[in-house]
């Protein structure tokens, strides 16, 4: 039993690492157009039109590569749509810094939403956890789990707050090159740091026994799958078999 449990744990951890790597690849795909925009804008004597064309082309190229490799393009499509909206905004206003405005507003919206869920004591990651495990609001009756999921939501709220604290002043001072660098730095690298912090906070907020349960459910959350429903207690099975006999 112990060996089987160890093998299962290693398999789950390997699957979790594979999923995190997949997320990292997705974030690279989404971040590539912004890297292209920043470089072209900086080295083309601030040619906004050229930088926007290159950014859109880079986003389209990522989608084409995904299609050729027969990989999912849902996230890439979302990133491409984001680039189009940002490019349209900057093109209409004629101000290069406005290419970052939709992202700033989106982060502000996320931050407000995270904060509201914390204030009403229904933290977002608790709601997600309940939906994935199909236990819905049962986590609110477990003080340890409630505290852990509340802290994880705080981590992601802090992530958005830090992004806004850096991006908004740069936007208000028209610092386009600095905005581009911040956009890239606060993308994949910062998100990876946030995931690590959330993992560490979650792990440190629960006991070893509770962690085994939580880790499995978080793995399913990353996969987008549902955990195996708990089996009926043996005594209930025995009673049923007795009645059938």
Q: How far apart are CA 12 and CA 21, in angstroms?
A: 14
Q: Read off the pLDDT of residues 73-108 as tens digits, 9 standing for 90 and up.
A: 776 777 788 899 999 999 999 999 999 999 999 999
- 111-117 long-range CB contacts below 8 Å, 24 or more apart? 111/157, 111/160, 111/161, 111/164, 114/153, 114/156, 114/157, 114/160, 115/157, 117/153
Q: How far apart are CA 211 and CA 12, in angstroms?
A: 13
Q: How far apart are CA 221 and CA 215, in angstroms?
A: 10
Say what the pLDDT of residue 132 is: 85
Nearest to 184 by CA among 163, 205, 214: 163
User: pLDDT band at residue 113, thresholds of 50, 70 and 90?
Assistant: very high
Q: 96: Cβ–Cβ under 8 A, 6 or more apart, which residues?
A: 41, 46, 48, 51, 90, 176
Contact call for residues 54 and 37 (beta carbons, < 8 A): yes
Q: Read off the pLDDT of residues 182-212 as tens digits, 9 standing for 90 and up.
A: 998 898 789 889 989 999 999 999 998 888 8
Say what the pLDDT of residue 79 is: 77
Q: How far apart are CA 80 and CA 10, in angstroms?
A: 36
Span 203-226, average pLDDT: 79
Mean pLDDT of the chain, nearest integer: 83
Span 130-139, average pLDDT: 89
Rounded to two decimals, the pTM is: 0.76
Helices (H), the chain: 2-43, 48-68, 74-93, 101-119, 124-133, 143-172, 176-185, 188-204, 208-223, 234-244
């Amino acid at each position: 039993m112990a060996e089987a449990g160890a093998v299962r744990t290693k398999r789950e951890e390997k699957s979790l690492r594979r999923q995190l790597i997949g997320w990292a690849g997705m974030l690279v795909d989404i971040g590539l157009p912004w890297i292209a925009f920043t470089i072209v804008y900086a080295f083309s004597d601030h040619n906004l039109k050229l930088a926007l064309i290159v950014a859109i082309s880079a986003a389209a190229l990522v989608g084409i590569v995904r299609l050729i490799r027969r990989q999912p393009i849902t996230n890439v499509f979302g990133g491409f749509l984001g680039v189009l909206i940002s490019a349209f905004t900057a093109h209409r206003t004629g101000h290069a810094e406005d290419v970052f405005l939709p992202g700033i507003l989106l982060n502000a919206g996320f931050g407000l939403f995270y904060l509201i869920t914390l204030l009403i004591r229904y933290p977002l990651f608790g709601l997600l956890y309940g939906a994935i495990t199909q236990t819905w609001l049962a986590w609110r009756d477990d003080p340890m789990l409630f505290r852990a999921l509340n802290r994880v939501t705080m981590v992601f709220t802090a992530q958005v707050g830090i992004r806004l604290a850096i991006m908004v002043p740069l936007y208000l001072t028209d610092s386009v090159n600095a905005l581009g660098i911040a956009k890239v730095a606060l993308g994949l690298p910062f998100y990876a740091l946030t995931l690590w912090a959330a993992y560490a906070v979650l792990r440190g907020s629960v006991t070893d026994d509770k962690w085994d349960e939580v880790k499995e459910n978080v793995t399913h959350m990353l996969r987008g799958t549902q955990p195996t429903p708990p089996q009926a207690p043996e005594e209930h099975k025995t009673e049923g078999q007795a009645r059938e006999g």
